[in-house]
Structure 1
Amino acid sequence: MDRKNLLKAGRRNSLNVSSRSLNASSRNLAESSNYALENYGTALPVAVIELISSAERKAECSVTLSKDGWAWFVCGRQLVIWKYSKSVGASSVSTPSRKSIAVSSPKSHELTLPPSDLAHKSDLVAVFSSEVDSVPSCIAVSPEGTVRYWDSIAHENFFVEINADLQGQECDTLSEAMPLGCLVATTTASVLLLTPRMTDGTPNIQCRNFKTPQGLLGSISRRMSSLIFGPISTHQSMETRLVKLLSQRKDRHNLEVQILCSQTLQYWQVGETERLIYQCDIDKWARESLIAHVWSRSDRNSIHKLRVWILDAQVYKNDLILLIAASNPNLSSQIQYALAALPMQSSSPPTGFASFCVLKYATAMTERPDSPLQESAAPQCRFVLVGSTAYLYSDKWILCVPSNEPLEEPEKLETKTANERFLGAGVFNQRPVFFSTRHGVLILQPSVGGPNDSQSFIDESIMEHSQIIAESLDPAQNETASSKLKLAFCHFCRKNIYETQSILEELFASPTSKGQIDSLMDRMVAELSQMIIDDYPHTDPRWTDSVPAGHESTFSTVSLLVLHQLEDKVKAHDLYLTFLRNMSIWGDLTAIGDRRGAKSTAFVLMEHSEKLRASLALRSLHTPGSTLIDASIRRVLQERAVELTNDKLTHQDLFYRHISAIGDFFPCFLDVVCETVANMSGSPSDKVKPISNASNFIIAMTNAARDYRARNIELLEHCENSFETLPWIATPGPRSVRSSIIRLLHLLVDEGVANADDAGLRSNLWSQAANLTDILLDALKMYLESCDEHSPVFAQVRQDVQSERSAILELFIKGREFERVALLAEKYIDFGALLTVCDETMNENKLNVYIDKLGESGFTEFACKWYMQRNQREKLLRLRRSEVSTFLEGHPDILWVDQSENENYLDAAHTLTNLASVEKDLYSRKKTLLSLAKLHLVTEEKLGPDPEVVQTELESVEAELALLTHQEQLPAVVLQAYDIDPNTMRVFTASELIEMYICDENVLANELDFKKALDLLNFLENPEERESRRLRIWARAILRDAWTQFDTDNVLQSISGTIFFKIIEFSLGTGEDLADLLPNPEEILHEPQLSELAGNDVFQFLLKAVYEHVNSLMEATR
């Protein structure tokens, strides 16, 4: 049955959604010139059919179709969850005959939502799973904020329920952001994070509110809008209405969240805590753009009279795509639609739209008198984004806006009956899917010859070549898995979708055939991909005797000329990738093991495509007489030990056949180039041409590979977070492409630039070097971004990449190519190179530009450390104070200089005293710090407003200096005894100094030394220690003399010569109070050090005589 008759049959017989066919994707239920809407996936659960068809039902219904292939249907408090995607090898679906292709209803799970006075909706439900093919979990939230969490949807009666404190707000949407949890947003844009936990085997859920700064940016933007555009209606200007909540996972522990409201956009970063990065006024930019693009001829003063609605938003690469509707009631009752791209940056808010495209489509504005005008007139329209193509939809129509023709009139597909509605939409396997109340899940496919969202995958020439492949292949039955996959590909080329699907379901029926590293699916898919790019030219008779026995051809090329063979392989491989995507294999691919661990299968396939492009680029430049390429090809074959045994074939035939090993060309090519340059006997400038030519070849090859990757990077997004993506261009090794590019860079600089006798030629060589550097660093950046930051080897990998990057950029710095190196360093975040450029060029303005642009990326802190390491503190302090102050707070050793220069003398003194308090290693440094602190305090005392406060701190510093003075006055004999260098000695404590003054090693100690020890008691804070040390000092003083040998007949003469008495006499002479200084005789006699003397009658007599004499002296002085 052809397409037209099939469509008629579909219209003639209403679809029974409970018995849809396995090949339902071939039934076109609606189509335009370029698009067809077809049935898709498994049959609808009976419960959903009953809820849709129930005549008594009054509750509103809604559906969500997730990217993981799960669907959930909400009606009243009933929630039905099922797997709508018909994954390859699904065990639940049997393989019927072509005459009987009905399937039974899939397994579904029916859950009960929390009680609510308001209508439940599918936007407040999230279904997610932590492992592939596991039974998922579910979180549902009522509009009032009651949260239910099912750890497994298989157990409907086992759930956890909590109540979120919304303070009267109404929940609007729930966004899954695992493993952090789920984000809930209210209609007034408040956000909560719900995090499922497992505690002692029991599931629970935690709730965390986002703390939003109140009244700052929002109020400012409203005031500015009023100043610029005049007053906006109170309803529109004051109401905060949620439009969309979007989140993207940066890594396992952090999210980027965009909260789009009716007028503003908030950008958050969420991890262990949440942080509002910025908020911007979307409404203002929308009005300006609409006036400029739609109503440019009208009075600009009427901008405040426009009715503007932000309807929906989706993320595309680094942009936020907004769907905007607007009307100008003064001119027309039509509503215009537009798509705007808003650049999303993590560091600074956008300054406006990057692009603004008005669609050639309008609808009539509808108003209901029983509702507020602004609400009732708002169009009920949303969109999904596949690649860069937008699909707008309402409950009655779908609008297709291809990215390559955004300004053309979009194609429209509409429901066929009055009671049919679209309840929801989503994206699965890079195709838009919709839910119809009449037909269930539908998929929107490009018609034959129509546009495609991945234009890099398929075009008209590829479709033409698919027919060649289909005609060439022999679809004879074969039992090997490889042959079955190739047979399925053959049927796909012939557009036999049913046969293709049947073979794939049989091939991958086992649950273990996919979803794990080195699964059958991953190995077969990768092997066939390599077979396609390495296949022998099947129709070239020269190859007849050279094809290995038993080789299974993929017929990927049917041409005779090498260039055309490569072009054929490009088309065949692109068609193969289209086959994998359209047959739902692409999304099931995991990884295959290699010597470095595991590599994403999708990434391997993309590398095959890149190598095809690189080979095609080389062949396009490989003209007759290209001696460098010819010699390199011969060397490649020599290293592979491939001999030219067939005289009908050439070295080029053998080389260009083996595409997967194209990387072998690079080191051999560099060998040949280096040898050629080294053996040249002419003028040194003659070396420049072969070096430049060689650079052009390598640039063309690597650029072709990189451009392909850049155009198709979206296809890797589902695997980048799981596996490292090391591009073949950046793979390390002595004979790798990476090392070859580095060799070529050194050759360009050392031999090319050095021998170029013309400024223009040197500039061209530096330009080539910059291109090569950009290509290599781009690949290394991709690799580094894919690595797990928590891996034990990540730090080493990052260091290796950064070291190699810096070494390459150093070539440009040494060559004084500052503009080129600045561009590269800024693009690839090499702060060291940027600072070197600013330093070498003495460009302080440029440094400030980098601080503004890269400050939040850590540039300022890096710059401060960079100057510190180079002992260029004066340059550090010349940085803008607002930028360097935070760094200086952590580096008080230079902070005080900045404070002093800014005349903050008291702060400088505090910083210096703090530094001195922690200084233990060097006495001289501590003394210098305290002396500087004293100088700043004296200055502050003279100039500051509060000299009394300063005086107190000044006394504290002087006391510290006094302690250091005691250390400075240590006797030389003591220093020598303890082997202390006075220039490098550490800081001693008061206790240590006391011991040094009274120790036995101080053989020349006199009363002054012991008096200094007594003075040091004032620096001891502990009273008990102070008393103990005081007795010890006096005891050590007594032991300095032989008391038992004194003449008791001449007492005064005997005791006057003792150190003990001299200390007392000296203290009296200085006016000190001996009551605090001198212990009583009983305390001295009980001192353990004097235990032997304490029992001696002569000592007791003389000691008491000393006290008696001292008392008489004290009486005489009163």
Structure 2
Amino acid sequence: MASSLDSSSLSPERFSVSGRSTQASQIVCKSLRYVVENYGTTLPVLVTEASTFADRNTAVSVNISSNGWSWLVCGRRLLIWQYGHTSQRHNHCHELTLPPSDLAHKAHLVAVYVAEGRENPSCIAVSPEGTVRYWPSITHAGTSVEESADLHGQECDSLTDIAPHGCILATTTSTLVLVNPQVSAGRHSVTCRTLKAPQGWLGGLGRRMSSLIFGALPTSQVTETKLVKVAAVESKDYNSQEWQVYVLSDHSLQKWLLTTGESERLLYEFDVKRLVREALLEERWETFGGNSTEVEVWMLDMQPTDGGVVILVAANVHTSNDVWYALAKVPTDDLIPPTRFAWFNTLKNKGFCHDGDISELLAYQLLLTKDTAYLFNNHLVAALSLPYRFEDWDTIEFLAVGDKILGGAVCRNIPLFLSKVHGLVSVLPSDCSPFDILNSSNMSIADSTMALSDLTSSQFTEGGFHVTVTEADLEEMTLNNDSSTRLKAAFINYVNKNIAKSEQIVEEVFPMDDEPVIDLDAALDTVVLSVGQDLVNDVPAGDPRWAEQRTPGSSIGSSASLQILHQLEDKQKAFHMYLNFLKDIKLWDRFSAVSNRGLVTPTSYVLGEYAEKIRAAIMLYSLQQEHAMIETAIKRVLAEQKEKQSHLGLSHQDLFYRQVT
């Protein structure tokens, strides 16, 4: 009844985690290309006890949220803690009691979030039968309200946060229910409303378009579909509170749109399984015999990415015991269903099915960071570099007695996994490990890790662009007398969607009622260019080696990456957002000109030059691996500029590519 991965292809990269590291570095283990490290504070005692001493018949599950909160479900016990909080040695744990149920509760039916204007997190939990319990604050366990989702016997599968709309409750048969907590006259309540596609002439356009392109879905599939995953992506439009919700079932993919003040819309639904079969036959014709009817396909997981979603699939030919895996990106920006994948990669490693039991081979889940895909199950994590080049997985197994991976998530582009033995760990490429950097600089983890509770609650992300500034620092920047610092504060408020505050700061620094100044090197032009230059030369926020050069008001922290190429790409996105800010806040039309290398140059041209320099730096870095002379030239430039490598371990490349201008 056992199943195993193909050991011949995995053995060169396989590594076992069989015991806790005792090194001060907190490195648990290393493989050839990846390092496993403890992350954040130790788990609360209640969590450790619950996961270790739970009765064998009691289901234990964990969910790790990207907002810095995690929770464990053990029977009817719900334990909630802040996993990234580092300002205190011991982490506090909140315990709540879940609704009664004849079925096993699970962590994916719980959502913990911080509502706008509130300090303490709220919590929504749903029993498998559909009883909804809402706590306005997790600090008051005895204060909650209940409501029934009225699912007519359907079993609940997952709960997805889409604040401020509430949460999307999904059943195992792909029914969607909007769970919305409300407060009126000081009284808290919860409403539950099933989402339904409009039945009017235009309402069914998405489904009919899918039928025209792919043919009608089988009747049995339309009436009942097995849910695989729900993923939600918040709109990047500042002026609308809009969510795109993707629902992956065993055969189809739906795209919903939820907008404040409007009815939900099902944009389209299409047969994604058919696309997978066609792509498999196109890429592996000989393997799958050229007959799509002989290929069995399973949808395993889905994660959102820039411009679409990535789906993890498994496939098997009826005449073989081999199980193949593939990653496929579905482009979803259009309002009509896609007719082909943006890319489709069959993975080199495959599973082998023994005695007809395939369940373990289909238990993989997917996590995505900017440059890596992570496949994991209860006992191993497999890492694949992106873009994928048909190479072996780098596999790390968790084999200590009693160990098990309880859950995984990505927080600030760091993949995190909760192990019963090792607690919360990160799995990162070994050439960019933050803890290796800390070892070389004798810095403490507590000194270099920023507490999530201190960060601004709304970190804007556009393809990986993060602004990492504390609320206290932002307030200090706002009150600063320096015009450049205050313009940075306005930009950060713009990024955090606080447009009114951003406009207020700009009006105070550059009042509109002033007479237009058409003059060389005017204050507005020089300040705008100064901030732009600081932005493209910003030090990486995620690299502790640069900590000494980060001071409030000087650094925005636009990149959380530890790799130079990604730092440059993040700067490019941050600078693009800065240009949007200048246009949206109506500063762009007020530009004049500045003295630039002895010439009078329009301010907008200088900003364009900064953008070109970022692109040039990215291109130069991509060529460096092929041409050794570039490294020699970099060292010569740094020598002429009298730039020296820091004792914190900064390389010549770190110093050179940081200062783009």
Partner of 1:278: 268
Partner of 1:180: 165
What is the alpha-carbon distance in structure 1 between the residues aligned to residue 355 and residue 221 of structure 2? 16
Partner of 1:712: 570
Counterpart contact for 1:367–1:377, Cα < 8 Å: no
What is the alpha-carbon distance in structure 2 between the residues aligned to residue 734 and residue 217 of structure 1? 46
Q: With CA pairs under 8 Å and 6+ residues apart, which has the higher RCO, 1 or 2? A: 2
Partner of 1:598: 490
Cα 1:122–1:366 shift into 2, 3 Å: farther
Partner of 2:590: 733
Q: Answer yes or no: is 1:291 the counterpart of 2:291.
A: no
| 1:999-1078 paired onto structure 2 within 5 Å | none
1:146 paired residue among 131, 140, 146: 131
| 1:448-847 paired onto structure 2 within 5 Å | 450=431, 492=438, 494-498=440-444, 501-503=445-447, 515=456, 591=474, 592-593=477-478, 594-595=486-487, 598-600=490-492, 711-712=569-570, 731-735=588-592
What is the alpha-carbon distance in structure 1 between the residues aligned to residue 373 and residue 37 of structure 2? 18
What is the alpha-carbon distance in structure 2 between the residues aligned to residue 245 and residue 107 of structure 1? 30
Counterpart contact for 2:207–2:268, Cα < 8 Å: no
Partner of 1:682: none
Partner of 1:548: none
Q: Answer yes or no: is 1:363 the counterpart of 2:351.
A: yes
Partner of 1:431: 414
What is the alpha-carbon distance in structure 1 between the residues aligned to residue 604 and residue 426 of structure 2? 51
Partner of 2:301: 312
Counterpart contact for 1:114–1:141, Cα < 8 Å: yes
Report the 3-state secondary structure (helix = DSSP H, G, I; strand = E; otherwise coil) of the residue aligned with 2:103: coil
Counterpart contact for 1:278–1:348, Cα < 8 Å: yes
What is the alpha-carbon distance in structure 2 between the residues aligned to residue 377 and residue 397 of structure 1? 12
What is the alpha-carbon distance in structure 1 between the residues aligned to residue 568 and residue 194 of structure 2? 38
Aligned residue identity for 1:307: E
What is the alpha-carbon distance in structure 1 between the residues aligned to residue 432 and residue 487 of structure 2? 40
Counterpart contact for 2:288–2:295, Cα < 8 Å: no
What is the alpha-carbon distance in structure 2 between the residues aligned to residue 360 and residue 324 of structure 1? 13
Cα 1:163–1:218 shift into 2, 3 Å: same
Partner of 2:377: 394
Partner of 1:329: 318
Partner of 1:162: 147
Partner of 1:541: none
What is the alpha-carbon distance in structure 1 between the residues aligned to residue 451 and residue 287 of structure 2? 63
Aligned residue identity for 1:395: N
Aligned residue identity for 1:497: M
What is the alpha-carbon distance in structure 1 between the residues aligned to residue 457 and residue 289 of structure 2? 63
Q: Calculate the TM-score normalised by the size of structure 2.
A: 0.67
Q: Over alpha carbons, which structure has the higher Rg?
A: 1
Report the 3-state secondary structure (helix = DSSP H, G, I; strand = E; otherwise coil) of the residue aligned with 1:600: helix
Counterpart contact for 1:170–1:187, Cα < 8 Å: yes
Matched residues, number: 513
String of CA shifts for 1:657-708, please: whole Å, max 9, x gaps: x986869xxxxxxxxxxxxxxxxxxxxxxxxxxxxxxxxxxxxxxxxxxx99
Aligned residue identity for 1:599: F
String of CA shifts for 1:526-551, please: whole Å, max 9, x gaps: xxxxxxxxxxxxxxxxxxxxxxxxxx
Q: Answer yes or no: is 1:65 the counterpart of 2:81.
A: no
Partner of 1:954: none
Partner of 2:631: none
Cα offset, 1:254, TM superposition? 2.0
Report the 3-state secondary structure (helix = DSSP H, G, I; strand = E; otherwise coil) of the residue aligned with 1:598: helix
Partner of 1:421: 404
What is the alpha-carbon distance in structure 2 between the residues aligned to residue 218 and residue 257 of structure 1? 16
Partner of 1:50: 49
What is the alpha-carbon distance in structure 1 between the residues aligned to residue 408 and residue 367 of structure 2? 7
Cα offset, 1:743, TM superposition? 8.6
Cα offset, 1:319, TM superposition? 1.9
Cα offset, 1:362, TM superposition? 0.9
Counterpart contact for 1:590–1:601, Cα < 8 Å: no
Report the 3-state secondary structure (helix = DSSP H, G, I; strand = E; otherwise coil) of the residue aligned with 1:300: coil
Partner of 1:37: 36
Report the 3-state secondary structure (helix = DSSP H, G, I; strand = E; otherwise coil) of the residue aligned with 2:418: strand
Partner of 1:134: 119
Report the 3-state secondary structure (helix = DSSP H, G, I; strand = E; otherwise coil) of the residue aligned with 2:590: coil
Q: Answer yes or no: is 1:258 the counterpart of 2:246.
A: yes
Cα 1:125–1:293 shift into 2, 3 Å: same
String of CA shifts for 1:487-518, please: whole Å, max 9, x gaps: xxxx95943232xx45458xx8998x76499x
Cα 1:504–1:362 shift into 2, 3 Å: closer
What is the alpha-carbon distance in structure 1 between the residues aligned to residue 56 and residue 360 of structure 2? 27
What is the alpha-carbon distance in structure 2 between the residues aligned to residue 408 and residue 740 of structure 1? 50
Partner of 1:1090: none
Cα offset, 1:204, TM superposition? 1.0
Report the 3-state secondary structure (helix = DSSP H, G, I; strand = E; otherwise coil) of the residue aligned with 1:292: helix
Counterpart contact for 2:591–2:604, Cα < 8 Å: no
Aligned residue identity for 1:71: S
Partner of 1:192: 177
Cα 1:443–1:503 shift into 2, 3 Å: closer
Counterpart contact for 1:590–1:600, Cα < 8 Å: no
What is the alpha-carbon distance in structure 2 between the residues aligned to residue 223 and residue 238 of structure 1? 19
Aligned-residue CA RMSD (Å): 4.8
Cα offset, 1:253, TM superposition? 2.8
Counterpart contact for 2:325–2:347, Cα < 8 Å: yes
Aligned residue identity for 1:327: N
What is the alpha-carbon distance in structure 1 between the residues aligned to residue 573 and residue 405 of structure 2? 28
Report the 3-state secondary structure (helix = DSSP H, G, I; strand = E; otherwise coil) of the residue aligned with 2:277: helix
Report the 3-state secondary structure (helix = DSSP H, G, I; strand = E; otherwise coil) of the residue aligned with 2:282: helix
Partner of 2:332: 344
Cα 1:73–1:281 shift into 2, 3 Å: same
Cα offset, 1:407, TM superposition? 2.2
Counterpart contact for 2:302–2:309, Cα < 8 Å: yes
Cα offset, 1:350, TM superposition? 1.2
Report the 3-state secondary structure (helix = DSSP H, G, I; strand = E; otherwise coil) of the residue aligned with 2:85: coil
Cα 1:185–1:659 shift into 2, 3 Å: same
Aligned residue identity for 2:241: H
String of CA shifts for 1:192-251, please: whole Å, max 9, x gaps: 111111111111111221113689977997898799xxx99x998985111111112225
Cα offset, 1:377, TM superposition? 7.1
Counterpart contact for 1:51–1:57, Cα < 8 Å: no
Counterpart contact for 1:306–1:329, Cα < 8 Å: yes
Cα 1:352–1:597 shift into 2, 3 Å: same
Cα offset, 1:294, TM superposition? 2.3
Cα offset, 1:390, TM superposition? 0.9
Cα offset, 1:157, TM superposition? 1.4
Aligned residue identity for 1:63: V
String of CA shifts for 1:380-419, please: whole Å, max 9, x gaps: 0111111142111111111111114442212111112253
Aligned residue identity for 1:48: V
Counterpart contact for 1:515–1:590, Cα < 8 Å: no
String of CA shifts for 1:954-973, please: whole Å, max 9, x gaps: xxxxxxxxxxxxxxxxxxxx
Cα 1:49–1:725 shift into 2, 3 Å: farther
Cα 1:377–1:600 shift into 2, 3 Å: same
Cα offset, 1:171, TM superposition? 0.9
Aligned residue identity for 1:123: H
Tell me which protein shows more helix as a share of its residues. 1
String of CA shifts for 1:899-948, please: whole Å, max 9, x gaps: xxxxxxxxxxxxxxxxxxxxxxxxxxxxxxxxxxxxxxxxxxxxxxxxxx
Aligned residue identity for 1:81: I
Tell me which protein shows more strand as a share of its residues. 2
Report the 3-state secondary structure (helix = DSSP H, G, I; strand = E; otherwise coil) of the residue aligned with 1:53: helix
- Structure 1 stretches of 5 or more lacking a match? 1-7, 16-20, 94-103, 453-457, 467-490, 518-577, 605-637, 642-654, 664-706, 746-770, 777-1118
- Structure 2 stretches of 5 or more lacking a match? 1-14, 459-463, 479-485, 497-519, 535-564, 595-599, 613-661
Counterpart contact for 1:389–1:401, Cα < 8 Å: yes
Partner of 2:85: 86
Counterpart contact for 1:138–1:150, Cα < 8 Å: yes
1:241 paired residue among 226, 233, 243: 226
Q: Calculate the TM-score normalised by the size of structure 1.
A: 0.41
Counterpart contact for 1:124–1:172, Cα < 8 Å: yes
Counterpart contact for 2:592–2:603, Cα < 8 Å: no
Aligned residue identity for 2:590: G
Cα offset, 1:431, TM superposition? 0.5
